[in-house]
Structure 1
Amino acid sequence: MPGEVADPYHVWISEIMLQQTTVTAVIPYYHNFLERFPDIEALARAPLDEVLQAWSGLGYYSRARNLHRCAEELIRLGGFPRDVAGLQALPGIGAYTAAAIAAIAFGVPVVPVDGNVERISARIFAVRAPMPGARKQLAAKAVTLNSGPAAQNRPSDFAQALFDLGATLCVPRSPACVLCPWQKSCQARKLGIQAELPRKTPKAERPTRYGVHFLLMDETDQLLVRRRPPQGLLGGTIELPGPEWRETMWSADEVAEVAPFSDRVSDALRVPQWTIVGKVRHVFTHFTLLIDVYAAQVNMLPNPREEEGFPVALEKVGSLALSSLMRKCVETGVNGLDDYVS
């Protein structure tokens, strides 16, 4: 894994990317990100939009915003703090990431506790309480895993070995116990319950929300976009205009009321004739989003008010800080508009 390189910048980037994202998905983003921003200075100097664009597709965009803020703070500090407390005081760095950087990059004898380490601890100590309620108990158990002299003398190697153990042997299903170095001391294996642990509280059914987004394009292939607020879900990214997502579906009358320029009846401009051209489904961690994509073409885009957005050439959309969700919406809108116009 990229974090095996004991460079604090590399460890930091890889650990932030791996939050809520699989290793397979992260690897190409990691290499592209480091090629684009090879060090703290390059990341701190880059415009936030460029960082968000490089992050597009990974989701959880607050991570990218915090990376940028943290890089600026690291420039002010003159580099990374070398202790857990100092690292955890930085923007976007929590207890786990601070411990990972401290152990892997600086050789501090601490145990970074992620999902893999929680699973290892649940099995070694036979913790039967379900997650997430057992998280504090598992963390308290996990910090004792490095009590041996080898782990204390080689904190970086131990931390990475622990991650590898959870990723390759002590896996969620069918753990390879016969190959595990802790098989003799594993309490769950002695009880024959290793495959059952850690136990989890059943998840509630993921709710559904509904959205509407509008692709308005003129005859010169200029389309209207806007920036989401800096805080919150997909904060700071670029999107097609549309109302706030909600828990009920949108009626045709409601769509007409919230469409861009619907209040410009007095303008000497052609009012956009909106047509639904497709639907986009996107799954977030806590809800599923169903979006109706509407599209319209006009001779010339009306001059938008600040809150309505700004025009951008279609050929430049790919370089904007669009989320993967909004890329799907733009593609659906453009393809649907081509079919409708032709």
Structure 2
Amino acid sequence: MRESARAEDLLDWYDRHARVLPWRVGPAARRERVRPDPYRVWLSEIMLQQTTVAAVKAYFEKFTQRWPTVVDLANAEDADVMAAWAGLGYYARARNLLKCARVVRDDFGGVFPDTHEALIGLPGVGRYTAAAVAAIAFDRAEVVVDGNVERVMARLYDEHTPLPGAKGVLTEYAAGLTPEARPGDYAQAVMDLGATICTPKRPACGLCPWRRSCAAWEAGTAAVLPKKAPKKVKPVRFGIAYLARRIDGAVLLETRPDSGLLGGMLGWPGSDWIEGEPVESPPIRAEWKTLPGEARHTFTHFHLRLMVKTALVPMDRQPVRGVFVEKDAFSPSDLPTVMRKAFDLARG
């Protein structure tokens, strides 16, 4: 007979197998009343949106070393934060990161609010992030549902409704299991279970503390859950990136508008990205050379293929947009990934 899932069983497993993460206060430390830093919890949750733990670790360490408190981050220069974020993707998160830090500094005295209702009013903080910070940082009994939790719940209850339509019912399942005791540890335990045991492919059901409670394990359907609606085919957009270098080595860069993709980031001047032949829009008069190959990148909603053009320009030539950055002040690592790909094509 299948047993009912219990939060206590998962917490017992978590006490032994919790992942060690740079932003986490583990269960043993929490028992010794070591409290998580809400700033570190919030920062990690923003960074982890649509990004893997492996990719986030180095960025998190860099940010917390350079800006150890939310007030330090709020006082930072926008360009410095955007450059430190370069390569992590989904750049609206970085803009909202600064907005949120400044609201916490200015409206809350540099102290994060401790309820879901107050947290969700902060810039860039949605329902999931508010629930995660409230639970993990403040031990509020909030229902925390990310992709890992959705997968665990779909299998635990053998739910075959495809995502994203199943989100509501999966959240209801998660709410029914969320305990009043140790809700912060529990929220992290379910995420750890999904990340290490109840994985998308080849789940390790034999090691799962909820195996005897799992309807999908009993039915033999775990490997095909959660079901997902068919993905739409992504369109392809085309554009041109102009890489101009002055004879003294300075490079021509522009800061992209705050709104839209790569908003607020440094990049090469270029054309609009469209589903057709891009319109030439060179940022400076020069003899432009088209490089063989393309810089290709995939965003959430489309694939991008950039033609890369290069030019060497004299010292007295002025651009119609963008500014020249001195050679010693330019670092390719400050560029978002797609712009680094264009740079690598030009350099190679």
TM-score between the two structures when normalised by the length of structure 1: 0.88
1:136 to 137, 152, 168: 168
The 5 A counterparts of 1:42-53 are 42-53=72-83
Structure 1 residue identity aligned to 2:268: L
Seen in structure 2, the aligned counterparts of structure 1 residues 327 and 182 have a Cα distance that, compared at 3 Å, is: same
The 5 A counterparts of 1:239-318 are 239-250=267-278, 254-255=279-280, 258-261=281-284, 271-278=285-292, 279-305=294-320, 308-318=321-331
Q: Which residue in 2 is equivalent to 1:101? A: 133
Structure 1 residue identity aligned to 2:317: P
Please state if 1:70 is matched with 2:93. no
Q: Deviations over 1:79-138 (max 9, x none)?
A: 111111111110111111111111111010122100000011111111111111111121
1:327 Cα offset (Å):
2.0
Report if aligned partners of 1:188, 1:194 keep a CA contact under 8 Å in 2: yes
Q: Which residue in 1 is equivalent to 2:50? A: 20
* Secondary structure of the structure 1 residue equivalent to 2:113: coil
Q: Which residue in 1 is equivalent to 2:215? A: 187
Q: Deviations over 1:274-307 (max 9, x none)?
A: 10124211111221111111011122252234xx
Report the Cα distance in structure 1 between the residues aligned to 2:89 and 2:223, rounded to whole angstroms: 31
* Secondary structure of the structure 1 residue equivalent to 2:311: strand
1:209 to 227, 237, 246: 237
Q: Which residue in 2 is equivalent to 1:122? A: 154
Q: Which residue in 2 is equivalent to 1:35? A: 65
Report the Cα distance in structure 1 between the residues aligned to 2:333 and 2:214, rounded to whole angstroms: 50
Q: Which residue in 2 is equivalent to 1:83? A: 115
Structure 1 residue identity aligned to 2:267: E
Give the number of equivalent residue pairs.
Answer: 315
Q: Which residue in 1 is equivalent to 2:18? A: none
Report if aligned partners of 2:143, 2:171 keep a CA contact under 8 Å in 1: no
Structure 2 residue identity aligned to 1:214: Y
Structure 1 residue identity aligned to 2:37: D
Report the Cα distance in structure 1 between the residues aligned to 2:316 and 2:249, rounded to whole angstroms: 10
Report if aligned partners of 2:296, 2:341 keep a CA contact under 8 Å in 1: no
Moved more, 54-63 or 131-140: 131-140
Q: Which residue in 2 is equivalent to 1:154? A: 182
Report if aligned partners of 1:2, 1:11 keep a CA contact under 8 Å in 2: no
Report if aligned partners of 1:217, 1:301 keep a CA contact under 8 Å in 2: no
Report the Cα distance in structure 1 between the residues aligned to 2:332 and 2:99, rounded to whole angstroms: 21
Report the Cα distance in structure 2 between the residues aligned to 1:332 and 1:310, rounded to whole angstroms: 21
Report the Cα distance in structure 1 between the residues aligned to 2:153 and 2:24, rounded to whole angstroms: 22
Report the Cα distance in structure 2 between the residues aligned to 1:301 and 1:36, rounded to whole angstroms: 38
Q: Over the residues paired in the alignment, what is the CA RMSD in angstroms?
A: 1.6
Please state if 1:198 is matched with 2:226. yes
Q: Which residue in 1 is equivalent to 2:86? A: 56
Q: Deviations over 1:179-232 (max 9, x none)?
A: 222222211122211111100112122221111011112211122211111011
1:159 Cα offset (Å):
1.2
Give 5+ residue unaligned stretches, structure 2: 1-20, 26-35
Amino-acid identity (%): 45
Q: Which residue in 2 is equivalent to 1:175? A: 203
Please state if 1:4 is matched with 2:24. yes
Structure 2 residue identity aligned to 1:313: E
Report the Cα distance in structure 2 between the residues aligned to 1:260 and 1:301, rounded to whole angstroms: 15
Please state if 1:223 is matched with 2:251. yes
* Secondary structure of the structure 2 residue equivalent to 1:136: helix
Report the Cα distance in structure 1 between the residues aligned to 2:344 and 2:207, rounded to whole angstroms: 48
Moved more, 226-235 or 318-327: 318-327
Structure 2 residue identity aligned to 1:4: R
1:237 Cα offset (Å):
0.7
Q: Which residue in 2 is equivalent to 1:268? A: none
Q: Which residue in 2 is equivalent to 1:339? A: none
Seen in structure 2, the aligned counterparts of structure 1 residues 275 and 166 have a Cα distance that, compared at 3 Å, is: same
